[in-house]
Amino acid sequence: MPMPGEMARFAAQARAAILDGAAVPDGLGARDPGQVARRFAVYRNNVTVGLVDALATRFPVVHRLVGDAFFQGAARVFLARSPPRSPVMTFYGDAFPDFLGGFPPAAALPWLADVARLEAARTHAYHAADAGPLSPADLAAVAERDPERWGLALHPALRVVASAHPIVAIWAMNQPGATPGPLASRDAETALVARPGLDVRVVPAEPGEAEFLAACGRGASFADAVEAALATAAAFDPARALARILAHGLCAGVTLPETETEEPS
């Protein structure tokens, strides 16, 4: 009879054999004992190929930018270091952008990690909670109120990815059907990732917008959020920002202080 803990010992050996290339675990048999290593290799291959494919599916633009051979190599180094911690494979690879940022062979592509961050953000936006985007009627309802007294709630799908590189342009020219070409500008871009209905969209932020949205996310009033945006971008235009928030579904609704929501209007 096996000693207690034999399953844990086998699992530890199998894990090391699959992820780290350690020796095949003891105690395995096959019709022909000479086949054990080749049969075990099926599991190792399933896991490795499955995880690399999961990353390639989640990071298609990174895959296209670096090519398959480079991507395979980078993904295999990453998965040995950072195997999934959860069975929810949808979000496997949240740490891949940081890994790419510190991966010496990718040092010549300084924008790569930020493009990966944009792709990771898209997955989160895709699976985020549903919420009715802010509507013109929501805004009309607070139009007469003091802008110190109401604020905007961010849409749960909204993700903001700041970069020192033109990541939205790089991402867009590497979409299926698009043709990569010279960049029109090397200027920094911050990506706004949104999902007003069921379709994820990526738009470059205009000056001050990221700061405006960050302030809204902290619960600031509309007036305070405008002030925060103006502090970094003097040209920030609140009316234009509201129009873009409506157009791209960046916010979910209007928030009022609790004492006011109960007042008859």
Partner 1 sequence: MPTLPRDAGIGFKALHYEAILEERPAFGFLEVHAENYMGAGGPAHARLARLRADYALSVHGVGLSIGGPDPLDEAHLARVKAVCDRYEPESFSEHLAWSSHEGAYLDDLLPLPYTDETLRIVCDHVDRVQERLGRRMLLENPSTYLAFAASTFEETAFLAEIARRTGCGLLLDVNNVFVSATNHGTTPRGYIDAFPLHAVGEIHLGGHAQEEIDGAPFLIDAHGTPVADPVWALFEHVIARTGPLPTLVEWDNDVPDFPVLYAEAARARSVLRRHAPREEAAHAHAG
Residues forming contacts to partner 1 in the complex (CB under 8 A) are 1-2, 4-8, 10-12, 14-15, 18-19, 27-32, 34-36, 38-40, 42-43, 46-47, 50-51, 54, 83-90, 126-130, 156-157, 195, 198
**Among 189, 180, 137, 126, which Cα is nearest to 162's?**
189
How distant is the alpha carbon of residue 250 from its chain centre? 16
Q: In angstroms, what is the minimal distance from the CB of 125 to partner 1? A: 8
Q: In angstroms, what is the minimal distance from the CB of 234 to partner 1? A: 37
**Tokens (6 digits) for 214:** 């960050």
> Of 40 and 171, which CB lies nearer to partner 1 in the complex structure?
40
β-strand pairing of 159-162 with 151-154: unpaired
The Cα angle at residue 222 between residues 220 and 223, in degrees rounded to 5: 95
Q: In angstroms, what is the minimal distance from the CB of 176 to partner 1? A: 15
**Tokens (6 digits) for 237:** 């235009």
Distance (Å) of CA 167 to CA 33, 181, 202, 204, 227: 53, 14, 10, 9, 27
Distance (Å) of CA 145 to CA 66, 135, 136, 215, 265: 52, 17, 15, 19, 11
> Of 134 and 215, which CB lies nearer to partner 1 in the complex structure?
134
CB-based contacts of 256: which residues, under 8 Å, 6+ apart? 142, 149, 150
> Of 46 and 232, which CB lies nearer to partner 1 in the complex structure?
46
Q: In angstroms, what is the minimal distance from the CB of 171 to partner 1? A: 20
Q: In angstroms, what is the minimal distance from the CB of 204 to partner 1? A: 23
> Of 7 and 234, which CB lies nearer to partner 1 in the complex structure?
7
> Of 12 and 140, which CB lies nearer to partner 1 in the complex structure?
12
> Of 48 and 163, which CB lies nearer to partner 1 in the complex structure?
48
- The residues pairing with 160 across neighbouring beta strands, listed in sequence order, are 192
Number of Cβ within 10 Å of residue 258's Cβ equals 7
Q: In angstroms, what is the minimal distance from the CB of 49 to partner 1? A: 10
